[in-house]
Amino acid sequence: MTGISRTRAIAAAIAMLAVAAALSAGQSTSAANQQVADVKEVHDYQLTMDKLNRFENAAKAVKKILAENPSAQQKLDSDSQNSAGPNSFAQSAAAIDKQPQLTAAIKASGFTTHEYVVITYALMASESYVDMKKSNPNTPMPAYVSPANAAFAEANFARIQALGPTLSGSSN
C-alpha cells in the first residue's frame, strides 16, 4: 500500500471510529447520525469491475485537472475544511460540486459526485482491510467493509493499490 493510500485509509478508519466514540459518549448529534449513515453507505456500496473501471477514469481525470490547476486543489482543500469533525459524504460532494470541471469529469464516468466520494471510501476501506489482513490474518473485518467488497478488493488488490498514486492528487 502506498504511503498516501495508507494515510487516506487510516484517516477513513479514524473517521469511522470517531463516529463510534461520539455515539458511545452520548453525542448523538445530527452530525454523528450522518456519519453513522455514511459508514452504512460505505458498507452497503457494492464494488464491481465496471465501477472500478469508471472510477479509475474519473480519478485520473480529477487528478489531471487538479495537477493542471493548483488553485483548484487549494479551493477543494479550503471547501473541504470542517472544524466540526470529519466531513460527511454530502459535505465532500458539495465541495467538489463547487468546481464545475471536477463535477464534469466525474459525471463523464457515470458517477454523481456523491457516489464518487462513496466509492473512494469503499475502495480505500476494503483495500486497507485486505492489506492489514495480509500481515495479520486474524484482523477482524471492520463494520464499514462488507464481505463482498473485501472479496472484491482481495481479487483486485494490485489494481486497487495501484490507484493510490492516482488518488494522491485528490482531496476525497
Residue 142 lies in a domain: yes
Residue 36's pLDDT is what?
A: 86
Residue that the C-alpha cell 455515539 belongs to: 23
Residue 109 lies in a domain: yes
Residue 81 lies in a domain: yes
Which residue range forms the structural domain that includes residue 118? 3-167
Residue 35's pLDDT is what?
A: 81
CA-nearest of 112, 95, 109, 3 to 56 is: 109
Residue 83's pLDDT is what?
A: 61
Residue 84's pLDDT is what?
A: 63
Contact 120, 49 (CB under 8 A): no
Residue 103's pLDDT is what?
A: 96
Model confidence, pTM: 0.79
Give the count of domains, the chain.
Answer: 1
- Separation between Cα atoms, residue 128 and residue 118, nearest integer Å: 15
Residue 118 lies in a domain: yes
Residue 69 lies in a domain: yes
pLDDT tens track, the chain, 172 positions: 444 444 444 445 544 544 444 444 444 477 778 788 889 999 999 999 999 999 999 999 999 999 999 888 888 888 777 666 667 888 899 999 999 999 999 999 999 999 999 999 999 999 999 999 999 999 999 999 999 999 999 999 999 999 887 665 444 4
Gyration radius of the chain's alpha carbons = 15
Residue 172 lies in a domain: no
